[in-house]
Amino acid sequence: MSSKRDYYEILGVTRDAGDQDLKQAYRRLAIKFHPDKNPGDQEAEEKFKEIAEAYQILSSPDMRARYDRYGHAGIGAAAGGSPFGAGFGQGFPGFEDVIGDLFGDFFGQRSRRGAPRRGADLEYHLEMTLEEAASGLKTKIRVPRRERCDSCKGTGAAEGATPVRCATCGGNGQVRYQQGFFSVSRTCSTCRGTGRVIKDVCKECRGEGRIEKEKTHEIKIPAGVDSGSRLRLSGEGEAGEPGAPNGDLHVVLHVKEHEIFERRDSNLYCSVPISFTQAALGAEVPVPTLNGSERLRIPEGTQSASVFRMKGKGMPGLGGRGQGDMFVAVNLVTPTHLTREQRKLLDELSKLEASTDRGSKNKTKDNVN
């Protein structure tokens, strides 16, 4: 009786999994247990072989049908050996495609072999105030980046010199290695994937083809942005290899916290203090906004922590889409230092309140009887 684990269980998929589900599961597990990522780990290597064997069988319609019907006995010697059988990528249909995708991601070699590589993207973090976010901002930023060398036009070779084909990789930019049962291609360390070797290098960039420079950009930030908003400046990243485009520059915005306002999307929240008499009698109180002080009408009998809305006094929406509101919470402030006259008046008020309370209690008692 076979002690082999179920192939579906190995890949972590259901028995009705489609081809794309199988492929995704295999790629995820193969990257995790690949021997290059787990050097010297015999258990990881055995796990990788088990994963490859499971995918070899399940990705073949005929083999999968036999396995589903008879189990491991139905596939016999087709499994258990090297998953690459007659050679790398020849064990079963579609395997080379999966491995190509896998190691394109694993080694960062997504671009077509020998093709010039696009320049790297850059990221610049810009801090701004809430007032600047509300009104929009035009500012200048200075960004260090690697630009194409003017002396050699990005070739890395001295004037009059011509790069020659790399003898290590034969101009392919990649070298093939055999590691035990597994064969992979890696970027050539001699030419660093370019397929060319420069004998007489440019003195300005020392053969790099690019030099460090600082560029100033004038950027315009629209009103209504929030932390995490990004601006993309196309082609303003690092220079690519000759014949390839530059990368992009991404400006990431960070809006600082405000000492008065709390922002929630396009709405603003704040609190203002009011006195007992303002709350009892009603009043107009000044309220800070992003555009200066505004008057807010407090109705008589207002309770502490009441919240009032000032329509259109919040943050503008991006692209001019609407305007947020301001929500104002009022906090009743109790005086701590009273004058003699204030105390006298409050004593009189207290007596009136007590009299009112006694009248209310008597009325309630009469109603109960």
Dihedral sign computed on CA atoms, order 328, 332, 335, 340 = positive
pLDDT at residue 257, as a whole number? 94
Residue 202 has pLDDT above 80, yes or no: yes
Distance CA 233, CA 220 (A): 11
Distance CA 89, CA 93 (A): 8
| Average pLDDT of span 336-361 | 78
pLDDT at residue 127, as a whole number? 95
Bridge partners, residue 184, by sequence: 177
Retrieve residue 40's tokens.
Answer: 């010297």
Dihedral sign computed on CA atoms, order 221, 223, 226, 227 = positive
Phi-psi region of 90 (alpha: psi -120 to 50; beta: other; left: phi over 0): alpha
What distance lies between CA 136 and its chain's CA centroid? 24
Helix-helix angle 95-106:19-33, to 10 degrees: 40
Residue 316 has pLDDT above 80, yes or no: yes
| Average pLDDT of span 190-213 | 82
Output the average pLDDT for the chain: 81
- What contacts 8, CB < 8 A, 6 or more positions away? 14, 15, 17, 54, 58
pLDDT at residue 140, as a whole number? 96
pLDDT at residue 157, as a whole number? 83
Retrieve residue 158's tokens.
Answer: 């001295």
Least confident of 54-63, 98-107, 108-117: 98-107
- The secondary structure element, H or E, covering residue 106 is helix 95-106
Distance CA 155, CA 174 (A): 19
Please give the model's pTM, rounded to 2 decimal places: 0.57
pLDDT at residue 205, as a whole number? 86
| Average pLDDT of span 83-93 | 37
Find which of 115-119, 207-211, 338-342 is predicted with most confidence, using mean pLDDT: 338-342
pLDDT at residue 84, as a whole number? 38
